[in-house]
Structures are given as C-alpha cells and as structure tokens.
Amino acid sequence: MSSLVGKKAPSFKANAVVNGVEIAENFSLDQYLNKKYVVFFFYPKDFTFVCPTELHAFQEKLKEFESRNCAVVACSTDTEESHWGWLQMEKKAGGIKGVTYPIVADTTKTISLAYGTLFGDYDVAENGDLIATGPMIAFRGLYLIDKNGVVRHQLINDLPLGRNVDETLRMVDALQFFEENGEVCPANWTKGSEGMKDTHAGVADYLSKH
C-alpha cells in the first residue's frame, strides 16, 4: 500500500477500552476532527514483551501530548476483552495497568489493513473480507493526524523494533510550529529552534524540490 501521508486518515468504528476499564462501542477517531491532533499507533499483540514498554512510554508522556492538544490512541488486532484483561495486570507482572488512553480492538483486521500496517498471510475475497492463511497482526505503525483528519507523518517499524516516544513528540512540535509560523523544519529541528523561511512560491513547491 502507498503512503497515507497527505491523505485523509481512514475512518473506522470499532470497540475500544477507554480509561483503562470501560469498553466503548463504535469508537472512532472522527470524534477528534476539528478539535485535536491524534497520534494513532498500532502494536502487534497483548501480553508480549516489547509492546508493554511502548504503551507505558506513551502513558508516561501523555500529559506532554495533551498539553499540545494531541490525543493518543493505540490499536492492535486483539479483542477488547484481551485489552481489558491486560489493562488489569500490574506492570511488574508484564501488564499495562495505569494506561488510560484508548486502545482499539481491530478484531476484523480491517483497520490495520486500511492503514497499511497488517502483517501476516492473508487473501482478500471479492466481497472485501479477509481470508487468513496464517497469523495476522499489526506492525508497529504510527500516524500523526492533524485536526483536519489528514495524515502528516507515518512510521512503520518491524515487530522487534520499539519506537521512540520523544521523536513522536518532536514531530507533533514540528507540525504545530509549521502551522503556526509558516516556516519549515530542517534536520534535527527541536522545539525552540529556528525554522527556515519559505523563499519559494509556496511550501508545497519548496517541499517538491527538496
């Protein structure tokens, strides 16, 4: 699948666990449209090893994201009941108790497929249904979505490679800096650094040449 950057984030409705305890039906990212930025990230499976380190890392930085008017939402192909059970397990036992941001249950695998992060062996039937010929889980996909619902940053890691949450925050800062100042962000830009003036006909023209 081609990159989603610059395109509308695929819409979906699915069950999710919110606030660590409540199972919500028909959860959708559409609730954030015109209100918040969204970091939407996929992880492979509940009750694993690298995954809880990532989920706890995002929780530890959650106030930082919220201070930037940015929601954090996770997703895997496990069921909402599996998510709920993992959320009740203490961190020292390998659980994710204390995580409060929503965790979506992509039990049909269609969300992972739409975002281009589905890993495994499968075919797609003529009616669009997935036919599994082997395990189907999500790669470590991450998408930064602006308030208009457009994907502005996309990252997909292979299963063994955990992500850097501080880099995700940096990308939120970079996007908001560009929107607020109309200046582009050079390599290794961090919040508080200077941007670069767009001296060409427009930012899109500038980016197309660099």
75 is catalytic: no
Most confident of 18-32, 133-147, 184-198: 18-32
pLDDT at 201: 47
Lowest mean pLDDT: which of 89-103, 120-134, 159-173?
120-134
Upper half-sphere CA count for residue 81 (Cβ side, 13 Å):
0
Query: Out of 3.40.30.10, 3.40.50.720, 3.40.190.10, 3.40.50.300, which CATH number does the structure's domain 14-163 have?
Result: 3.40.30.10
Count of C-beta atoms within a 10 Å radius of residue 194 = 11
Name 156's bridge partners.
141
Q: What tens digit of pLDDT does each residue of 52-71 get?
A: 999 999 999 999 999 999 99
pLDDT computed for residue 176 by the predictor: 96
Cα dihedral 158/23/130/39 (nearest 10):
-40
In which band, very low, low, confident or very high, does the pLDDT at 192 lie, cut at 50, 70 and 90? confident
Q: Which of 51, 70, 75, 185 is catalytic?
A: 51
Closest CA to 58 of 77, 38, 88: 38
Segment 31-48 mean pLDDT:
97
Question: DSSP readout, 123-192?
Answer: EE-TTS-EEEEEEEEE-EEEEEE-TTSBEEEEEEE-TT----HHHHHHHHHHHHHHHHH--B--TT--TT
Read off the amino acid at residue 178: F
Give the tens place of pLDDT for each residue, 3-17.
999 999 999 999 999
pLDDT at 200: 54
Rounded to whole angstroms, how far apart are CA atoms 110 and 32?
Answer: 21
Largest CA distance in the chain: 56
- Separation CA 78–CA 60 (nearest Å): 23
pTM for the full model? 0.89
Domain borders along the chain are: 14-163, 164-210
Quick one: average pLDDT of 172-201? Answer: 86
